Amino acid sequence: MSDAATTPGTGLAIGDLARDEIAAAVALWTAAGLTRPWNDPNADIDLALASPGSTVLAGRRDGRLVATAMVGSDGHRGWVYYLAVAQDCRGQGLGKAMMAACEAWLKARGVPKLHLLVRRDNAGVIEFYDRLGYEVSDSLMLMRWLK
């Protein structure tokens, strides 16, 4: 994905996260409440950028990192993590633009569907994805700590 095109109506240039933007991305995620003590966001970024099946998209406005989304796939299912928009830029269509960029990234790789994990108590985010046409799945996610 290139930074050449700016998303119409948002002034947002979207491209891959540069290594010198990692600290700014982690700060954005922290401010948005997306980081957890058991997940190292720097390790998540390193893994995403090192894999051909994933990346971290960066939304820049006037040279400032104002939005991010980590996107990847297993070849059949796409996933988006760490969608974040700077507090002072919310409500301007940047989250929608970032999700459109994630969907385009996945479609370009032939991925037919996209999954998201959202905490049940995060009503605002659930409403955001609902407005974008996402639906609650009947699937149940199970997990187990391996550490």
Q: With cut-offs at 50, 70 and 90, classify the pLDDT of residue 2.
A: very low
Question: What percent of the chain shows pLDDT beyond 90?
Answer: 77
- 6-131 under CATH 3.20.20.60, yes or no: no
pTM over 0.75: yes
Which residue from 56, 134, 43, 64 is spatially nearest to 102, judged by alpha carbons? 56
How far apart are alpha carbons 68 and 61 in whole angstroms? 12
pLDDT per residue over 31-64, tens digit each? 999 999 888 999 999 999 999 999 999 999 999 9
Position 4 scores a pLDDT of: 41
Helix residue spans in 10-141 (DSSP H): 22-31, 41-50, 94-107, 123-131
- Is residue 25 within 8 A of residue 86, CB to CB? The reply is no
* Region 77-82 average pLDDT: 96
